[in-house]
Amino acid sequence: MEEELLKDRIAFLLEGATVKAAVFHTFNFDPKLFENYILPLIMPNHIFSDNPIYNIFKWRKLYKQGEVPPVTVYFDDAVKSENAPNLPYAFYAISMANVGKNKGNFHPKTSFILYEDKSGKEILLFLIGSNNITQKGWCENREIVGDIIFVPNSFCPSNLLNNINRYFRNVIAYRSKLSKQELSEAETLIQTFLNRRTGLTSDTRIVSFYHPYNLSFIDFLEQEIFTKEDINTVEIISPYFINTNEHLSYLISKGIKNIKIQVPFNKECASISEDLFELYKNNNVQWYLPKDLIRNDHSKIYRFIGNEKVYLVIGSVNFTAPAWESLDDTLIKVSNFEAALLKVFKKGELSTILHEPITNTKHLKFGISEEDCEDKAFERIKIPDFNFMIDWKKKIITWSSINIKNNCCLILKKGERHDLTNNKGIISNISEENLKELAAYSMVNVEERVTKSETIHHRYYLNQKNYESRPLLHNISSKEILDAWDLIDSDDEEAKEWLATRIAQKLNDLENASGIFESDNNIQVTLLNDWARHFYGLVKLSDYLFNSTFKSKTAWEKHILHVEYYLFNSNFDTLVNYISDLKKGKTEGKLLPTFYWLVLKILSTEFYDKEILKTLRKNCKDYGVSISTVFFSNFSEKASALESELEQIAKELPIDQKKAKKLDWAENVLKLRYELSK
């Protein structure tokens, strides 16, 4: 088995590809890592920074331009991260069925990435392993991950493809039992692909796939291994273990004489109890030391050795009771939702997965980490099933629920409370303060009243609609925006990387210790020094938006999204943010009113003029592209607001005859510029 960074492997497989959809299944989920480390992998043709704030600006732009494929994430509701999602992908928090006070885990670690390669062929990349979507799972632990590449009309064992398809559908079915929701866009695209007759182009030694719907792990082993040939040795790597000899007794009953298991270690300490170590040792187990005593080995690997073949099982299945149980429609057993892959090798083709047998326990330290509860049937409360969606444009939160028995209410800032009665509802008129609070941390607090005197609080992530209207919390100066426009139509990747680095550095410089961005303390700018710079930057943006000459319907459809982005949306390099920064500078006395008036005149002439809109509409119409009524409405709204602002500023200007001539000259220059550009 080869060792490499999973990130590098995915980047290699997706090089030059266009991803169409992605679905991820995980136990633990860290949205911050997902959005800054994993999601950029499905956008291989775009540059992202190590600075998460720069990436927010980048994502806002890509989402508005329709360049981000649909993404869906499943995770276990009981272990959601403190980091709330920032981006508007779909997600489902799965709360496994309670049996008394115990419950299992939603525990698979699989990824489905549907993409088109350079030749336009549609391909599905399927990843399965032991790693959660966390910092440890992708960057720190030792993990095991396998990949399968499916393409149409190629050979594939039918049971492998059918089982993966059935697993995909059963995850959706299980979620639907808990929460009545339709398939997400990403799920629909991938389900459509799986329903076709597809094939396998990677490792032909992959023969079967396991998931626990109506099939226990023991049933799977019987079906795929023990009915094929006699097994004499098994090697096991698992971070978690059943605290009885139940699994061991089963393996011994199959005639396995050699049971070899790696001791899980964390920071030079065995992360199992000494009692469990001795129990297993007394049941014919030879314990082994891991190769690395510092890094946590989170892999789940079973290597069954027969007389002729070696059977390798990798995935999410730990050596525990809930992991080996089956799931069924009754939802009344403490069992996990798992996933595993079986590969078959010729004997001698795959070397041992273990390192060094333990012959002396004198210096072995035992201790169970506080984190060692991932895969055990432990007491957990039942979480009310709520789904929340915030519409940033309408400033409302819609919610739905199923089978809620106790009274619950949503709590916002300043003690604002909203009862969550019935099965669905709308919370309207959300204050600007609460909108900014939710934009900074998209998680809500729900209070559940269990008894007259007892309440429990639960946290829920917010799904998002109209993401482009989400309040922008981090702004940069108008001068930095002008630098962004300088590179707006550049194909020079080095130039784009330079801009990303510069903006990221600017954000770092502006951020103080509390995480709040400091005000720009630039001295008052002068008309003579900066007017030409702003004029050049605005003209360059105007030329890009309104003087482009595209020759296809597709190109014009994409360009209209760019025009909408720059004219109507709030992001670091858009006109909305640019005007906001200038207005702030004028209000705070850092910007001369005359300068402000001149820039607004440029904006009125170059961007929000009716003649410009007519020309754009004609160019689109020539290629069969229509502009939406929403576009026209937004354009009129911005143009009217700009004219009102100009009229107000003109009244405030202390203009004598000499200054009036200069302003008339500037306005005539702008008109001439427009006439020459037609």
Greater confidence (569 vs 84) lies with 84
Q: How far apart are CA 308 and CA 225, in angstroms?
A: 12
Which CATH code for domain 386-469? 2.60.40
Residues of the chain with pLDDT > 70, as a percent, come to: 83
Query: Which residues make beta-bridge pairs with 127?
Result: 111, 147
Tell which residue, 341, 329, 320, 404, has the closest CA to residue 104. 320
Crossing angle (nearest 10°) for helices 629-652 and 553-568:
40
Q: Which 3-state string (H, E, C) describes 124-147?
A: EEEEEECCCECHHHHHHCECCEEE
Greater confidence (291 vs 483) lies with 291
CA distance to 44, 485, 541, per residue, from 562 (Å): 20, 13, 11
The stretch 565-572 carries a mean pLDDT of 83
| Sequence-ordered list of residues with C-beta below 8 angstroms from that of 603, at least 6 positions apart, any chain | 538, 575, 579, 642
| Sequence-ordered list of residues with C-beta below 8 angstroms from that of 491, at least 6 positions apart, any chain | none
H helices of 415-525, in order, are: 432-440, 478-486, 493-510
* 526 pLDDT above the threshold of 60: no
The stretch 294-304 carries a mean pLDDT of 92
Helix (H) or strand (E) holding 417: strand 417-419
User: Which pLDDT score is estimated for 405?
Assistant: 82
User: Which pLDDT score is estimated for 674?
Assistant: 44
Residue 45's Cβ-count burial label (10 Å; 0-12, 13-18, 19+) is exposed
User: Which pLDDT score is estimated for 365?
Assistant: 86
Per the rule left: phi > 0, alpha: psi between -120 and 50, beta: everything else, 348 is left
Tell which residue, 647, 516, 534, has the closest CA to residue 585. 534
Q: Which two tokens stand for residue 256?
A: 């396995």
User: Which pLDDT score is estimated for 546?
Assistant: 87
Tell me: the pLDDT tens digits for 473-493?
766 667 767 766 666 655 545
Is residue 307 within 8 Å of 270, Cβ to Cβ? no
Q: Using CA of residue 230, residue 233, residue 234, residue 235, what is the dihedral sign?
A: negative
User: What is the DSSP track for 158-173?
Assistant: HHHHHHHHHHHHHHHH
Domain ranges of the chain: 6-357, 386-469, 478-677
Is residue 375 within 8 Å of 322, Cβ to Cβ? yes
Q: Using CA of residue 452, residue 457, residue 458, residue 460, what is the dihedral sign?
A: positive
Tell me: the pLDDT tens digits for 572-616?
778 888 888 888 888 888 777 777 887 888 888 888 988 888 889
Crossing angle (nearest 10°) for helices 527-546 and 610-622:
30
Tell me: the pLDDT tens digits for 14-68?
999 999 999 999 999 999 999 999 999 999 988 887 777 778 878 888 888 889 9
Q: What band does 345 get if pLDDT is binned at 50, 70 and 90?
A: very high
User: Which pLDDT score is estimated for 226?
Assistant: 95
Q: Which two tokens stand for residue 282?
A: 């007394």
- Does residue 212 sit in helix, strand or coil? coil
User: Which pLDDT score is estimated for 160?
Assistant: 83
Q: How far apart are CA 285 and CA 243, in angstroms?
A: 14
CA distance to 445, 481, 590, 591, 649, per residue, from 522 (Å): 41, 15, 7, 10, 22
Tell me: the pLDDT tens digits for 364-412?
888 765 444 455 444 467 788 888 999 998 899 999 888 788 899 999 9
Q: Which two tokens stand for residue 193?
A: 């692909």
Q: What band does 509 get if pLDDT is binned at 50, 70 and 90?
A: low
Q: Which two tokens stand for residue 433?
A: 């303060």
User: Which pLDDT score is estimated for 662?
Assistant: 52
Lowest mean pLDDT among 128-142, 446-460, 587-601, 659-673: 659-673
Q: What band does 676 get if pLDDT is binned at 50, 70 and 90?
A: very low
Helix (H) or strand (E) holding 357: strand 356-357
User: Which pLDDT score is estimated for 474?
Assistant: 64
* 499 pLDDT above the threshold of 70: no
Q: Write down the mean pLDDT value for the chain.
A: 83
User: Which pLDDT score is estimated for 197?
Assistant: 64
Lowest mean pLDDT among 80-94, 259-273, 296-310, 536-550: 536-550
Q: What band does 461 get if pLDDT is binned at 50, 70 and 90?
A: very high
H helices of 382-526, in order, are: 432-440, 478-486, 493-510
| Sequence-ordered list of residues with C-beta below 8 angstroms from that of 389, at least 6 positions apart, any chain | 397, 398, 399, 462, 463, 464, 465
- Does residue 351 sit in helix, strand or coil? coil
- Does residue 70 sit in helix, strand or coil? coil
Displacement of CA 625 from its chain's centroid (Å): 32
> What phi and psi values does residue 673 have, to the nearest 5 degrees?
-60, -40
Is residue 536 within 8 Å of 481, Cβ to Cβ? no
Query: Does the reported pTM lie above 0.75?
Result: yes
Q: How far apart are CA 435 and CA 451, in angstroms?
A: 32
* 532 pLDDT above the threshold of 80: no
